[in-house]
């Protein structure tokens, strides 16, 4: 019969090596988990960007009350029955600065045809910047501040300029993220008035 040898207890060096291997695998596993979580968050965030807010083309426009710079207030639902343009902007946005005269011209050309326009300075703008912007571009339509980001959240606004077109029945019929040229703006308004 063969003799069985008893296993020798590991040496201090072998214990350190085993601990070192375990630590390395734990670090690798932890890193994989952290990277996976980060990738998941990025994917979720980018996937939710297009579904953020309640204002989608074809859906009813979310109602809100806008406090105007002149101290009055206007509620979107009070404009039902009129075609409405919502224009979100920031005073320090170069695209908004270029678009402001176009928006003012469109309003001047179409307000007598029933067009309503609400101009909304976004929450990251300042009161003084918004007031200066209105004076500089002589905006002839109601202008208010979304200083608490409620309206921007309803409409999923995270950049400027952002323009929404709302039909007489209160449904969102168009959204443009970014600056619009005069011809494109005019085409959108004509379509809005025809709906």
CATH number at 90 reads 3.40.30.10
Answer yes or no: is pLDDT of 59 > 70. yes
Q: Are residues 130 and 37 located together in one domain of the fold?
A: no
Q: Are residues 39 and 108 located together in one domain of the fold?
A: no
Q: Which is higher by pLDDT, 9 or 142? A: 142
Q: Are residues 38 and 97 located together in one domain of the fold?
A: no
Integer CA distances (angstroms), 35 to 25, 27, 28, 45, 190, in order? 15, 12, 11, 15, 49
- Picking from 28-32, 117-121, 177-181, which range would have the lowest pLDDT averaged per residue? 28-32
Answer yes or no: is pLDDT of 79 > 70. yes
Q: Are residues 136 and 42 located together in one domain of the fold?
A: no
Answer yes or no: is pLDDT of 108 > 90. yes
* Alpha-carbon torsion, ordered 82, 146, 143, 193, to 10 deg: -20
Q: Are residues 30 and 97 located together in one domain of the fold?
A: no
Answer yes or no: is pLDDT of 7 > 70. no
Is position 143 within any domain?
Answer: yes
| 96 belongs to the catalytic site | yes
Q: Domain range holding 127? A: 65-194
Mean pLDDT of the chain: 87
Q: Which is higher by pLDDT, 30 or 94? A: 94
- Token reading at 95: 């695209």
- Picking from 24-33, 121-130, 182-191, which range would have the lowest pLDDT averaged per residue? 24-33
Q: Are residues 70 and 45 located together in one domain of the fold?
A: no
Is position 33 within any domain?
Answer: yes
What percent of the chain has pLDDT above 70? Answer: 82
Q: Are residues 31 and 108 located together in one domain of the fold?
A: no
Q: Are residues 147 and 188 located together in one domain of the fold?
A: yes
Integer CA distances (angstroms), 148 to 50, 117, 124, 135, 159, in order? 22, 21, 9, 23, 15
Is position 59 within any domain?
Answer: no
Answer yes or no: is pLDDT of 194 > 50. yes
The single residue of 66, 79, 86, 96 carrying the catalytic annotation is 96
Answer yes or no: is pLDDT of 46 > 50. no
| Pick from 165, 184, 169: nearest CA to 86 | 165
> Residue 76: pLDDT band by 50, 70, 90 thresholds?
very high
Answer yes or no: is pLDDT of 44 > 70. no
What was the pLDDT predicted at 49? 43
Answer yes or no: is pLDDT of 47 > 60. no
Number of domains observed in the structure of the chain: 2
Is position 112 within any domain?
Answer: yes
CA angle 176, 52, 93 (to 5 degrees): 45
Is position 1 within any domain?
Answer: no
């Amino acid at each position: 019969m063969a003799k069985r040898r008893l296993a020798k207890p590991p040496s201090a060096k072998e214990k350190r090596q085993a601990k070192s291997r375990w630590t390395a695998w734990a670090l690798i596993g932890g890193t994989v988990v952290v990277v996976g979580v980060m990738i998941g968050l990025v994917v979720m965030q980018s996937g939710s960007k297009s579904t953020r807010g309640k204002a989608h083309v074809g859906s009813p426009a979310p109602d809100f009350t806008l406090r105007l710079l002149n101290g009055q207030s206007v509620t979107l639902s009070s404009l039902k029955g009129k075609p409405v343009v919502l224009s979100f902007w920031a005073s320090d946005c170069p695209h908004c600065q270029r678009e402001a005269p176009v928006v003012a011209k469109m309003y001047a050309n179409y307000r007598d045809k029933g067009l309503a326009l609400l101009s909304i300075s976004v929450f990251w703008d300042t009161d003084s910047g918004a007031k200066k912007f209105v004076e500089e571009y002589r905006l002839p339509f109601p202008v208010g501040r979304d200083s608490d980001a409620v309206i921007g959240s309803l409409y999923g606004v995270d950049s400027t300029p952002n323009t929404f077109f709302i039909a007489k029945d209160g449904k969102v019929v168009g959204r443009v993220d970014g600056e619009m040229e005069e011809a494109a703006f005019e085409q959108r308004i004509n379509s809005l008035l025809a709906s």
